[in-house]
Amino acid sequence: MAEKQKTHRQPKLSRPTTIRDIAAHTGVAVMTVSRVINESGYVSQEMREKVLKAVQELNYHPNGLARGLKRRRTQAIGILVPDIANPFAAELVGGIQEVLSARGYSSFISTSDRSTTREEAGLRALFDHRADGAIVATRETKAGNDFLLGLLNYDLQIVVVGRELNHPRVDRVTADHFKGGYDVTEHLIKMGHRRIAFVGVSAPNGAGLHRYRGYVEALRANGIPFDEKLVVGPKVDAGPGFSTQDDGYEGAKRILSAKSRPTAIFARNDFTAMGAMYAIRDAGLAIPDDIAVAGFDNVPLSAYTAPPLTTVAQRTVLQGREAALLLLDRIDGNRQRERRNICLDCELIVRQSTIKDIARTD
Amino acid sequence: MAEKQKTHRQPKLSRPTTIRDIAAHTGVAVMTVSRVINESGYVSQEMREKVLKAVQELNYHPNGLARGLKRRRTQAIGILVPDIANPFAAELVGGIQEVLSARGYSSFISTSDRSTTREEAGLRALFDHRADGAIVATRETKAGNDFLLGLLNYDLQIVVVGRELNHPRVDRVTADHFKGGYDVTEHLIKMGHRRIAFVGVSAPNGAGLHRYRGYVEALRANGIPFDEKLVVGPKVDAGPGFSTQDDGYEGAKRILSAKSRPTAIFARNDFTAMGAMYAIRDAGLAIPDDIAVAGFDNVPLSAYTAPPLTTVAQRTVLQGREAALLLLDRIDGNRQRERRNICLDCELIVRQSTIKDIARTD
DNA sequence: TTGAAAGCGCTAACAC
DNA sequence: GTGTTAGCGCTTTCAA
């Protein structure tokens, strides 16, 4: 039976098979089919097999819209990242999807691209399509926070990564950026530096940037006076939100032409650091002999710069996994439990960009 | 009836407002509300205002699931990229979203991460949630192609970017990688090189990689014999699919230790090139004096390497825009029109990594 | 163990 | 201009 292969050539745009097609094809009730595909309730072995066979043959896949509408669950979650061209986002997403897909959830990524409007549009779309939850790793903004809090009045679970959102039902995962910033600064101090610049945020905007606060604190703890002139933000200061290689180049350039220049630069992230390194070479100075450079994030490329870049690794994949687990726990399990906060250690990765006494091929 | 507002304080997890709440609240028919929010059909000014007011007050947003189920249109499209940590993907997505969001479509990103399983899962999720279309920029695989072709039997529109998919209703956008590869190779030849290596694909796997074929053809056209020993793929050859900085490092290393080493390296992409540059420095050689290096893609960082990297720019944002336009044209308009193929020019960007006679600060 | 009925939230098609 | 009816594809509830 079922010589379906007789179709003349390409079937011209079939409508997707529905549960009723399966029911009709097997002669059982729609409900029985539903029970089979959901493995819920009792179905005799015989019927089950018949149904499964038809599901195969007719290539049936449940319509997620109908299912979601009825169940009030879509088994889909949204991931909101600031920016896609970013190893951090990639690893985070990797960790998240690893956990989610194992549990039968699909996930969709949305970017904010540094725009609150875009971020809201992304969240709105997620919400309107009734995602069961969202993992939000965008930078904090007032508008963004308000919007997220608004969504929380409804049945959307949220976990934030690397940022805050003050709400009793929002879990949080982050790396200890403060400690990372502290450690890398202290490393520079141990290497004998006392004029250490921070490139990537302006001092007034730094409060929300933990790695910067770690820098400030490390200076203080080591008795080095804080010098605001050694802190440079991007030309167009996007608040605590962002910093690129261009910003690093431009910021370092400014700081190098200042009266008394630093002997070390701690850049907000590895890309900023790479821009700064370029500015340093541009000025005819050597790294690390004239100026040491450190970054943050340990992006894969940081091992390949000239010289390789000292940086701070955060366990990004793990953050993704943890965030996904927290989210699933709330969705599938206890929606009312107390908020949880996971903070992972960072690791200082010392490379040649801050070490003078290692022989360099250069 | 319907004194729903009696809830004591913070509505403890309100259910989202539905169209019926609005109807009840304003005393009009559900259908009238629908007409107002969709701006379809005739509604008197008076009613319209009343409804809009209630929509505001009750913070109503249509349920995308219900709407999609009924309309058979979700106004959502999926973007499938191989890998997220990639300026190419970022720019592509930027271009796509720019067009889509202006037309009221939301878009969701999915990654294949070099895994056919993952790619299928992403497409399956897209399809099950009834996305109206997909823009697919993953690398070609047999399994992937089959899966895509299967989906095309149903009502999912597909546009591919930077790859092929042979189907009469699938449009395609790409950059002219062949010409780009040809141009950069010819540039190296003009700079006096005759032993030019290609790093990033093994010769047997190169057929699907147009930029590599451009390289081969440029050699031929200039009377330079092709030497298979000068072509190195990644250690674990993932077919035409991928190449990282690690691959570049490792591949260049191999080629540099060969008996007669090349005087120039054309790397499959900028990251591969950066890895190769590192290997060259590692070997105590100078760029470009001992070995010239060129990449492909013009990622933002390529301007910041030491020395800055000669590369080929493809207009990625534009590719995204064009792809989105083609997709919308099919979804909203003519689903049966002939397939369209847009091929954009690449641009050679010459920087110091291939030019000896420019003074370098190094 | 199976099935029938009702309805999730919305809109197309048709009355009025 | 506005309202009513029916139904998208599925699952929950209840009856058999």
Handedness of CA A137, A142, A143, A145 (dihedral sign): positive
pLDDT of residue B353: 98
Pairwise CB contact (< 8 Å): A62 & B128:
yes
Pairwise CB contact (< 8 Å): A69 & B63:
yes
SS3 content of chain B, % helix, strand, coil (to 5): 45, 15, 40
Averaged pLDDT for residues A312-328: 97
Nucleotide nearest to A30 (CA to C1'): C3
Q: List bases in chain C with any atom under 7 Å of a protein Cβ.
A: 1-5, 7-13
Pairing of strands A311-314, A346-349: antiparallel
Pairwise CB contact (< 8 Å): B101 & A110:
no
Distance CA A299, CA A290 (A): 24
Distance CA A209, CA A189 (A): 21
Averaged pLDDT for residues A314-322: 97
CB contacts, 8 Å: A155 with chain B: 13, 15-16
Pairwise CB contact (< 8 Å): B153 & A62:
no
> Is the per-residue pLDDT at A32 higher than 50?
yes
Q: Record the tokens describing residue B130, joined without a space.
A: 């009834």
**E-only strand ranges, chain B:** 76-81, 106-111, 133-136, 157-161, 171-175, 196-199, 231-232, 264-267, 292-294, 311-314, 341-344, 346-349
Question: Which tens digits make up the pLDDT trace of B186-213?
Answer: 999 999 999 999 999 999 888 889 999 9
Q: Record the tokens describing residue A315, joined without a space.
A: 């366990």
CB contacts, 8 Å: B10 with chain A: 153
Mean pLDDT in order along chain B per 10 residues (362 residues): 36 80 94 94 92 95 96 96 89 95 94 89 95 94 94 93 95 97 98 96 89 98 96 74 86 92 97 97 96 96 96 97 97 89 98 77 44
Find the Å distance, CA of residue B59 to C1' of nucleotide C16. 32
Pick out residues 124-143 of chain B having their CB under 7 A from any atom of nucleic acid strand C.
Answer: none
Question: Which tens digits make up the pLDDT trace of A135-171?
Answer: 999 988 899 999 999 999 888 999 999 999 999 999 9
Please check whether residue A81 is in contact with residue A112, taking contact to mean a CB–CB distance below 8 angstroms. Answer: yes
pLDDT of residue A360: 44
Q: Record the tokens describing residue B152, joined without a space.
A: 């095309």
Percent of chain A at pLDDT exceeding 70: 93
Does residue B236 sit at the A interface (CB-CB below 8 Å)?
Answer: no
Distance CA A271, CA B249 (A): 20
Question: Which tens digits make up the pLDDT trace of A264-279?
Answer: 999 999 999 999 999 9
> Is the per-residue pLDDT at A197 higher than 50?
yes
Q: Which residue of B has its CA nearest to A83?
A: B90
pLDDT of residue A61: 96
Distance CA A325, CA A322 (A): 5
pLDDT of residue A102: 94
Q: Which of A141, A27, A35 is nearest to A80 (CA)?
A: A141
Distance CA B337, CA B329 (A): 10
Find the Å distance, CA of residue A332 to C1' of nucleotide C6. 27
pLDDT of residue A8: 35
Please check whether residue A198 is in contact with residue A268, taking contact to mean a CB–CB distance below 8 angstroms. Answer: yes
pLDDT of residue A39: 93
CB contacts, 8 Å: B301 with chain A: 245, 271, 274, 301
pLDDT of residue B11: 44
Averaged pLDDT for residues A318-346: 94
> Is the per-residue pLDDT at A324 higher than 70?
yes
Q: Please, which residues have CB within 8 angstroms of residue A93's CB and are 6 or more apart in sequence?
A: A79, A81, A107, A109, A320, B84, B111
Pairing of strands A106-111, A133-136: unpaired
Question: Which tens digits make up the pLDDT trace of B211-241?
Answer: 999 999 999 999 999 999 999 988 776 655 5
Percent of chain A at pLDDT exceeding 90: 80
DSSP-assigned letter for residue A310: B
Q: Please, which residues have CB within 8 angstroms of residue A39's CB and are 6 or more apart in sequence?
A: none
Q: Rg of chain B over CA atoms, in angstroms?
A: 27
Q: Which of A107, A114, A74 is nearest to A239 (CA)?
A: A114
Pairing of strands B106-111, A346-349: unpaired
The SS3 assignment for B74 reads coil
User: How many CB atoms sit inside 10 A of residue B32's CB?
Assistant: 22
pLDDT of residue A5: 37
pLDDT of residue B9: 36
Q: Which of A141, A140, A218, A144 is nearest to A179 (CA)?
A: A218
Q: Cα distance from A193 to chain B (closest Cα, Å)?
A: 24
> Is the per-residue pLDDT at A226 higher than 80?
yes
The confidence band for A1, taking pLDDT boundaries of 50, 70 and 90, is: very low
CB pairs under 8 A between A and B: 175
Please check whether residue B282 is in contact with residue B266, taking contact to mean a CB–CB distance below 8 angstroms. Answer: no
Please check whether residue A265 is in contact with residue A293, taking contact to mean a CB–CB distance below 8 angstroms. Answer: yes
pLDDT of residue B7: 36
Please check whether residue A327 is in contact with residue A221, taking contact to mean a CB–CB distance below 8 angstroms. Answer: no
How buried is residue A225: exposed, middle or buried, by Cβ count under 10 Å (0-12/13-18/19+)? exposed
Distance CA A181, CA A204 (A): 17
Model confidence, pTM: 0.90
